[in-house]
Chains A and B, each alone.
Chain A
Amino acid sequence: MAKVSKKKVSKKSLKKSSEVTGNNEAVATNMIYDDDEKEDDLDGADVDVSGEEDEDGEDERKRQKLLEAISGLGGKRKKTLGERSEAAVQMCEFTVTSKGDGEKIDLSDLIETIEKTPSVPAKAKKQLKTLQRNTKTVECPLSKQENERIQRDVSFQKAATEVSRWKSIITQNRKAEQLVFPLNQEPSGPKPIDRVVTGWKAQTPLEQEIFALLSANKQPINDPILTPFEEASVRAMSLEEAKIRRAELQKARALQSYYESKARREKKIKSKKYHKVQNKVKRKEFLKEFDEMVKMNPAAALEELNKMELARMQERMSLKHQNSGKWAKSKAIMAKYDLEARTAIQQQLKVNKDLTQNLVSSLKEEEEEEEEEEPGTEVLPDFVNDAKQPLDSSNPWMSGKLSEDPTEKEMSETRGVTVEEPITVAHTAEEEEEEGDTEKTEEEALLREFDSRRKLRWAQEADPAAVMSVDDDNDEDDGVIVADSKPSAEEADASDGEEEGLSEFTSLFRGIVDGCREGKAGSDTSAQLNEGLVRIKGVGDMELLPLTNEKAPVEPQHPPASENLPSATKKAEKNRKRKKGIELKDVLTKCTKVIKVPVTPTVEDSEDAEDKVDQMGLIKEAFAGDDVVSDFLKDKKKQENAGKPKVVDMTLPGWGEWGGIGLNPSRRKRRRFRIKTTPPAPRKDVHLPSVIISEKRNSSISFHQVNSLPFPFDTHAQFESTICSPVGRTWNTEQTVKKITKPKVTTQLGAIIEPMAQEELLKNKKQMTVRNNSTVDSLKRKH
């Protein structure tokens, strides 16, 4: 019963509160109350009955309940429906709704009472107030699935970070050239004593204490020579020294800044005259310096000279200061009428001339002269010395020689005046003629300028070229005279006797010092002879070869002193063009050297070869050089033709027009239905007239070749270069072979290979940090 009474008390208090709060509250409480009551009823009816008298306003309802309870006592238990005890305007199906329909309960409504009641602590009030201020609604809880998903995500991320810690070590191992399992084993074998000593660490407490003391006093631990203090003192400079040094540095800095500012100022000056003067002064100074340098320091002077030579070469190579620029062209047009333009052009040409003048040669010549004057040295002809210039032999372009074209053009020009005479004479004649001309137009003046330039070059070229003619050189595009001397040799080749004569001539040629000029003249005439040679174009022409060969020396060149210059020049140019291609004849008959054998064979060669050389061979020997070349050329032509794709004719006679015997399809049609294939790539032997290279693919090797580019490589070259160096013992030392071919993974026999432990990770990290620290330390030490 005590239980019941307690309840009642609570009910009462509740009632009180409900009265205070108001209507809504009252309803709610009533409902609760009702429920309680019902429970009570279920517990026991008699209890309810005894407590009825206390209640005052609800007799009716109580009675009803009682009746119900009594009826319930009898038979089966009936389900009791909740009853509506209060009338409301709006009713819900399930529960009783409040009076103000759809109104929300506000927190303020609930809190109001607290304000009034003093018993509520201030803290709680405050909290409630802040709650009230906070207008945000609490979000509804997530659904189960979403909740789980989030949890999964979070756990995945955790696991990922855990795993990703291994990433660096794994990539390191993957990239490693060799992995030795089990990992992290101590290298076997004896260690160097230094490492043992330095790697030793204090372990016992006594040792530790001792070392702590030592380090506290900054005493050396491993190295017994100097303490850090001592080292520091050694390293430190004395104060005075430091001051002096600082002052020096300051001064230098100041000077530098002055100089810089001055240079900047000067650079900004726009006056051309100023710069001109300045440049002139500089040049003068430089010259003076250079003169001194020549006396004092010849090596440096030579270097300077080289520099100048380089500048000259650059100038020659570039089109600067030539009359080919836009400006120059316009000026050239204007030059006729405008004096200024004329002078401008002339100035420019002068600049070019100055720049391209060969300074080195003059100096070298001087030197050589000096050398020659010295007694005891061998007396050598000038041009031999010239030939020793490294520039000449290596590259004709670098030697300051003229290329073929201008000279040839010139030659063609000069031919108009004098053909038979040597060119030098021709030049002088030309010059005289020009000088004799009293009425010179301005254009002529310009032309003359160009001419003189050309002549200058020609003169430069003349000396080395003379030597070049003696050398047997392989370059086809050597100096003109070289190219010309070849055909002369070619003529000589026709018969061996002649050849010997020529070689004698060349040897003579070399020997003579003073007769250099004449020799050149001779070679020049041979060059002109060459112009008349008929070139072989095809197989058909080959039959004419011996004839023309015979004719060549007999027949002189173009009719001399012919006035129709243009046609002559044209012809010359054509010949030149043809000459540029390599001729088989030239290749076969390179100028040969005769070897003098001290011991002549007593036994005739033909004797021993009696059975070797059969009749055919004898005949071949007798007619040597007659058909060998033509046969070969025919063969080559045949091969070339075989390699060419054939034209396919798809015309159908009688299709779309009349057909029959004697009726051919129209040309238009034939052209339309002819299928032309693309021309094949040029043969490998295009530029080798005396060689036939088979174009057949060698498929036997392709089975052993790599067909496609393997994975990491981008280009063929990369892959090929990685496999091109040999690996085997035949080509490498034993050590290298071992190093190159070491296996990617080695395992120790019998050792257990365990998965990597967590410590591995830590160790790796530690190593990294240690490395970083050490670098930092070293940096510190440096500063």
Chain B
Amino acid sequence: MATPGEASVNDSHVGKNKQTPGRYWQEPQQVGKNQNKDGEQALKDLQHKEQTTHTTKKRKQEEDRGDGKKFISGKSDPFPGPAPVPADRVQKFKRKDKTKKPGRQQYKLRDVITRSNNSSEIAQNQAAQFDLLLPEEAGFLEGDEDEDTCMISQEDIAEAVDITSGAKYFNLKLSQFGPYRLDYSKTGRHLLLGGRRGHIACLDWQSKQLMCEINVMESINDVKWLHSESMYAVAQKKWLYIYDSSGIELHCIRKFNDVLRMQFLPYHFLLATASATSFLQYLDVTVGKEVAAICTKTGRLDVMCQNPQNAIIHLGHPNGTVTLWSPNQKEALIKMLCHQGGVRSVTVDKTGTYMVTSGMDKKLKVYDIRAFKPLKSYFLPAGASCLSLSQRGLLSAATGDVVQVYKDVWSTPVTKPYMAHRVRGTAWGLHFCPFEDVLGVGHGDGFTSMLIPGAGEPNFDGLDSNPYRSAKQRQEWEVKALLEKIQPELINLDPAELGRVDRATFEQRHQDRVQALGYDPLAKEKFVPKYKKKGRSSAGAVERRKKQVAHEDQRDEIRKTVEDKIKMEKERKDTEKQKVALHSQKSALDRFNK
């Protein structure tokens, strides 16, 4: 688990990857070992190389000495230069490939490119060096010999781990108000529970402190935290409501009716809702305006998820298709046929690489959504009603009242779950808690918080989502996040598209402009003849006037072109003259030349 206090626990089941952090002096030794391993001939070559490198190094040191960086004592630094960083770690932070430099003639371009190459390299190296500051490692569950990890019960785990982690396994028995949906806030600190029969509770789940508890006296379809733990949205029977953390109703948004599912896009401050009337709507929560309303024309929308990488909304449909939507386009960006029956649940992993779907045909499929290609297909005997992916790629699937967690669904073919747990009543909502090894399950009989070792990201970004932040820090974060809010127009299937040059043709761009402005800015205004009295506005006269104007225009144009031509000609002649003057040397006798 992510907490550092957990390291002291010595248990067979739950542990940590014991891996001493890499030191920079480790690599040279390894290199030396490799050399020893090589064949004789290779060794010779290497020795030769080594010699050369040795000499070059010496040379370098000498040069350094020449610069006057030597110590008075005559000692030289045994570890000169900055500490080397392992290549694989540097590779991890690679942002771009090196651009090829142009020739020396284009020195400006060359400068720009070298500068950008250098800066990216610096950034990469720095980031790799600072990676040292992320000390936490993910936990894992390991069974004894001939023991399946999926047979280990939650109680065992809770007993084995330390007290704080053990306290994270708990049940809330709320049998009165029906199956519960749930949502964790972005920091993973707060939990929002919404019972089907109108019960809403939000609590700081780690301290089990109840923030508010209300009953809206209406059926509840979905609940969702907004950008912070101070506000949440509730999709009730008819309208969409927004409450604050003390349970006060802030808004009732009548524009959003019959909402079934919601997703909040945290960096865009958009609340996306999918309704029973097959509308996909986007609400900008900063200004309270509807950004886009898209009629998907695909019936009831009760399967929804977002791609955290590019803020694209995925919708699942009863005809086995999954569609991808952005607020900028009225039709689906992508429509893929995933199942032969209806789609029951969709989820996308944190990196935006994989999509996992489950359908009525009792299958669980893994797709690569960069290429829209199926990767793996599994058959679940009972089918999965809810899916959820954790930050580190664990997949939880609920089949009836059993919650199963799978590891590495996309890379290796899985035959049995990593963990399994039976809850009371059918599971209704599943969510992994961010930055914690916890899976929250909302079911018919309340809420269960399960311990799933290795689920959460152990290292959090304190400036982005800090689970331990104070009220002041939250306020500051809110301001910053609002300043860095991404406009909904920038939602695109490929987020890197913004960094590319728009290569659309001029006409295409002009068309876009016309569409945006509502008129053609380049169009010439049409001549409308003035009405004249005394019979001078007869049809013939008007026509004549029109013709006259058209004729004038034409003449103007011709004149202009002719002038241009003359000008060009003149310029050409001038340049020629100058050339001639430059070429021929004048002599006194030239004046007699005719």
Q: How far is the CB of A731 from chain B (nearest CB, A)?
A: 8
Is A694 interfacial (CB 8 A cutoff)? Answer: yes
Q: A193 to B109, alpha carbons, bound, how many Å?
A: 41
Q: How far is the CB of A715 from chain B (nearest CB, A)?
A: 10
User: CB within 8 Å of B: which of A523-561?
Assistant: none
Decide: A701 and B382 in contact? CB cutoff 8 A: no
Which single member of B69, B72, B364 contacts A222 (CB below 8 Å)? B72
Instruction: List chain B residues, Cβ under 8 A from A591.
Output: 377
Instruction: List chain B residues, Cβ under 8 A from A608.
Output: 179, 385, 400, 426, 428, 444
Q: How far is the CB of A400 from chain B (nearest CB, A)?
A: 25
User: CB within 8 Å of B: which of A480-494?
Assistant: none
Which single member of A224, A587, A598, A778 contacts B151 (CB below 8 Å)? A598
- Give the contact stretch, choosing among B117-125, B155-163, B280-288: B117-125
Q: How far is the CB of B133 from chain A (nearest CB, A)?
A: 10
Closest A residue, CB atoms, query B422: A599
Is A130 interfacial (CB 8 A cutoff)? Answer: no
Instruction: List chain A residues, Cβ under 8 A from B416.
Output: 595-598
Instruction: List chain A residues, Cβ under 8 A from B106.
Output: 712, 714
Closest B residue, CB atoms, query A142: B588
Closest A residue, CB atoms, query B330: A696
Decide: A603 and B363 in contact? CB cutoff 8 A: no
Decide: B502 and A706 in contact? CB cutoff 8 A: yes
Which single member of A194, A496, A612 contacts B72 (CB below 8 Å)? A194
Contacts A701-B489, A702-B512, A740-B122 given; indicate if A624 touches B361 (C-beta within 8 A). yes
Decide: A725 and B375 in contact? CB cutoff 8 A: no
Decide: B417 and A595 in contact? CB cutoff 8 A: yes
User: CB within 8 Å of A: which of B85-123?
Assistant: 95-97, 99, 102, 106-109, 111-113, 115-116, 119-120, 122-123
Q: A635 to B297, alpha carbons, bound, how many Å?
A: 13
Decide: A722 and B122 in contact? CB cutoff 8 A: no
Q: How far is the CB of A119 from chain B (nearest CB, A)?
A: 44
Instruction: List chain B residues, Cβ under 8 A from A601.
Output: 382, 399-402, 422
Is A604 interfacial (CB 8 A cutoff)? Answer: yes
Which single member of A224, A588, A717 contacts B340 (CB below 8 Å)? A588
Contacts A701-B497, A716-B500, A721-B99 given; indicate if A199 touches B399 (C-beta within 8 A). no
User: CB within 8 Å of B: which of A717-751?
Assistant: 717-726, 730-733, 735-736, 739-740
Decide: A733 and B68 in contact? CB cutoff 8 A: no
How many residues on the A side are at the interface (Cβ–Cβ under 8 A)? 107
Q: A692 to B331, alpha carbons, bound, how many Å?
A: 11
Decide: B500 and A707 in contact? CB cutoff 8 A: no
Is B378 interfacial (CB 8 A cutoff)? Answer: yes
Is A273 interfacial (CB 8 A cutoff)? Answer: no
User: CB within 8 Å of B: which of A629-651?
Assistant: 629, 631-632, 635
Which single member of A593, A605, A694, A706 contacts B333 (CB below 8 Å)? A694
Q: How far is the CB of B328 from chain A (nearest CB, A)?
A: 4
Decide: A605 and B179 in contact? CB cutoff 8 A: no
- Give the contact stretch, choosing among A256-264, A296-304, A434-442: A296-304
Decide: A719 and B501 in contact? CB cutoff 8 A: yes
Decide: A620 and B68 in contact? CB cutoff 8 A: no
Q: A694 to B329, alpha carbons, bound, how many Å?
A: 10
Instruction: List chain B residues, Cβ under 8 A from A722.
Output: 99, 112-113, 116
Decide: B502 and A725 in contact? CB cutoff 8 A: no
User: CB within 8 Å of A: which of B470-485?
Assistant: 484
Which single member of B71, B102, B484 contacts A714 (CB below 8 Å)? B102
Decide: B341 and A691 in contact? CB cutoff 8 A: no
Q: A624 to B500, alpha carbons, bound, how many Å?
A: 43
Decide: A724 and B95 in contact? CB cutoff 8 A: yes
Instruction: List chain A residues, Cβ under 8 A from B441.
Output: none
Contacts A197-B72, A694-B334 given; indicate if A721 touches B119 (C-beta within 8 A). no
Decide: B328 and A698 in contact? CB cutoff 8 A: yes
Closest A residue, CB atoms, query B423: A603
Contacts A177-B115, A590-B377, A739-B119 given; indicate if A605 touches B383 (C-beta within 8 A). yes
Contacts A198-B68, A724-B95 given; indicate if A472 touches B376 (C-beta within 8 A). yes
User: CB within 8 Å of B: which of A566-613?
Assistant: 584, 587-588, 590-605, 607-609, 612-613
Closest B residue, CB atoms, query A699: B512
- Give the contact stretch, choosing among B185-193, B503-511, B555-563: B503-511
Decide: B39 and A602 in contact? CB cutoff 8 A: no
Q: A300 to B37, alpha carbons, bound, how many Å?
A: 9
Is B496 interfacial (CB 8 A cutoff)? Answer: yes
Decide: A740 and B119 in contact? CB cutoff 8 A: yes
Decide: B501 and A707 in contact? CB cutoff 8 A: yes
Is A705 interfacial (CB 8 A cutoff)? Answer: yes
Decide: B126 and A736 in contact? CB cutoff 8 A: yes
Contacts A496-B362, A732-B126 given; indicate if A621 touches B66 (C-beta within 8 A). no
Instruction: List chain B residues, Cβ under 8 A from A607.
Output: 426
Is A225 interfacial (CB 8 A cutoff)? Answer: yes
Q: A564 to B419, alpha carbons, bound, how many Å?
A: 60
Instruction: List chain A residues, Cβ under 8 A from B62.
Output: 778, 781-782
Instruction: List chain B residues, Cβ under 8 A from A781.
Output: 62
Instruction: List chain A residues, Cβ under 8 A from B454.
Output: none
Instruction: List chain A residues, Cβ under 8 A from B107.
Output: 175
Q: How far is the CB of A504 from chain B (nearest CB, A)?
A: 12
Q: How far is the CB of B585 from chain A (nearest CB, A)?
A: 13
Closest B residue, CB atoms, query A716: B501
Instruction: List chain A residues, Cβ under 8 A from B40.
Output: 297, 300
Q: A598 to B381, alpha carbons, bound, how many Å?
A: 11
Which single member of A175, A716, A724, A778 contacts B66 (CB below 8 Å)? A778
Instruction: List chain A residues, Cβ under 8 A from B336.
Output: 690-692
Q: How far is the CB of B395 from chain A (nearest CB, A)?
A: 11
Decide: B122 and A739 in contact? CB cutoff 8 A: yes
Which single member of B119, B428, B489, B503 contacts A716 (CB below 8 Å)? B503
Closest B residue, CB atoms, query A721: B99
Is B490 interfacial (CB 8 A cutoff)? Answer: yes
Q: A723 to B119, alpha carbons, bound, how many Å?
A: 11
Decide: B328 and A700 in contact? CB cutoff 8 A: yes
Is A772 interfacial (CB 8 A cutoff)? Answer: no
Closest A residue, CB atoms, query B374: A590
Decide: A707 and B509 in contact? CB cutoff 8 A: yes
Residues in chain A within 8 A of chain B (CB atoms) = 175, 177, 193-195, 197-199, 222-225, 297, 299-300, 303, 472, 474, 496, 499-500, 503, 584, 587-588, 590-605, 607-609, 612-614, 616-617, 620-621, 624-625, 628-629, 631-632, 635, 685, 688, 690-694, 696-709, 711-714, 716-726, 730-733, 735-736, 739-740, 774, 777-778, 781-782
A-B residue pairs in contact (CB < 8 Å), sample of 11 = A197-B72, A587-B374, A595-B379, A595-B415, A608-B444, A620-B360, A691-B337, A692-B335, A699-B512, A733-B126, A777-B66
Q: A225-B74, A605-B382, A739-B122 are in contact. List 20 more A-B contacts (CB 8 A).
A: A194-B71, A299-B37, A472-B377, A474-B373, A590-B374, A595-B364, A598-B416, A598-B417, A598-B420, A616-B318, A620-B318, A688-B372, A697-B504, A698-B492, A699-B516, A702-B509, A722-B112, A730-B463, A732-B127, A778-B66
Closest 10 pairs between A and B when the two form their complex, measured CB to CB: A601-B400, A625-B340, A300-B39, A608-B426, A705-B502, A624-B341, A712-B109, A722-B116, A700-B328, A725-B120
Residues in chain B within 8 A of chain A (CB atoms) = 37-40, 59, 62-63, 66, 68-72, 74, 95-97, 99, 102, 106-109, 111-113, 115-116, 119-120, 122-123, 126-127, 130, 148, 150-151, 179, 299-300, 302, 318-321, 326, 328-329, 331-342, 360-364, 372-383, 385, 399-402, 404, 406, 413-417, 420-422, 425-426, 428, 444, 463-464, 484, 489-490, 492, 496-504, 508-509, 512, 515-516
